[in-house]
Amino acid sequence: MIENAMLLANLWLNVWFQVAVICCAAIAALIMYKRKVNSLTDTIRDLDRRLVERAVLLQYAKENEKKAKDEALIKQSEYTTLLTQLSHDMRTPMNSVLGLTTLMKSTPLTNEQQDYLQSIKKSSEDLIDALDETLRTAGITHAEEKQQAPKKQQVTYTGKLSPEFAEHFPLKILIAEDDDMNSQLALMLLKRLGYEADYAGNGKEVLEIVSEKKYDLILMDVQMPEMDGLEATRMIRLCLNEQPVIIAMTANAMDGDRDACLKAGMDDYLSKPVNVEELMQALETWSRRSLTS
């Protein structure tokens, strides 16, 4: 036992033995270090793989979110377009219903017939109100609700539908309207007010007529075949030396439609169904301006 201890002591005193021990220790430490490095490398690779997977999943989620938003915007746009078209399609015939009701109320009728007409008028107005409320719920604003145009003068003419109105406020009027019922209604209303108005069925006809005859005022529909009211207005503003007053009288009654009409060069805007008093107010206002200019 003592001999073995002495042998080990002699070996430890030997330089080569010390070098061998140190080398063995260094090799063992290097092996442990490499194992630790390999373990960390594997961990980092695993984290990188997970990070790439999550990045791919995040990109996929973003693309799906964008796709869903785009689809929602398309559906919202289609819904808005549908409601806007529905508004236009309903206002066009309701303009005739309310206008003819007004005309009939000014004729001799029994009390019972007056009650019937009042009920028709009230039901028609309720229908338009319900339509406007539906549009507001969908975030579509009626043009009149954001009107920023200057207020017109109040009507000073106290008479009802009478030819005397045109005597007080003379105007040469052209009606641009593609709907037969609405054009006939406008002609009848103006005739009741004392005007002998002319009629055009689309924008091209308007340009042909105004090139041959001077008018003080044009009641211009917007949606018409061949050439719409906006384009016809732009052409009139470019081509005529003596400019008429142009009033939009249209079923395009959503927010932005008024601005589009004014931007095209129109002077005023009336949405369908047109209130007869508002029409009379516009005719009086522009007649007074034309007389003073």
**Concatenated DSSP letters for 202-252?**
SHHHHHHHHTTS--SEEEE-SS-SSS-HHHHHHHHHHH-SSPPEEEEEES-
* Of 66 and 138, the one with more pLDDT: 66
Q: What average pLDDT score do residues 169-186 get? A: 94
Q: What average pLDDT score do residues 67-89 get? A: 73
- Residue 42 reports pLDDT greater than 90: no
Q: Using one digit for the tens of pLDDT, what is the confidence trace for 117-161?
A: 889 888 888 888 888 887 777 777 665 554 444 444 455 555 567
Compute the mean pLDDT over every residue in the chain, rounded to the nearest whole number.
83
Percent of the chain with pLDDT over 90: 36
Percent of the chain with pLDDT over 70: 83
Residues 6+ away with beta carbon under 8 Å from 288:
153, 169
* Of 32 and 206, the one with more pLDDT: 206
Write down the pTM of the prediction. 0.69
List C-alpha distances in Å: 267 to 15, 216, 270: 112, 12, 11
Q: What average pLDDT score do residues 65-75 get? A: 75
- Residue 11 reports pLDDT greater than 80: no
Residues 6+ away with beta carbon under 8 Å from 261:
222, 229, 230, 233, 248, 250, 252, 269
In DSSP terms, 247 is beta-bridged to: 219, 268
Confidence class of residue 190 from pLDDT cuts 50, 70 and 90?
Answer: very high
- pLDDT at res. 109: 87
Running DSSP on this structure, what letter comes out for residue 14? Answer: S
Q: What average pLDDT score do residues 226-241 get? A: 94
- pLDDT at res. 262: 92
List C-alpha distances in Å: 262 to 204, 245, 247, 280: 20, 12, 9, 20
- pLDDT at res. 151: 45
- Residue 239 reports pLDDT greater than 80: yes
Q: What average pLDDT score do residues 231-248 get? A: 95
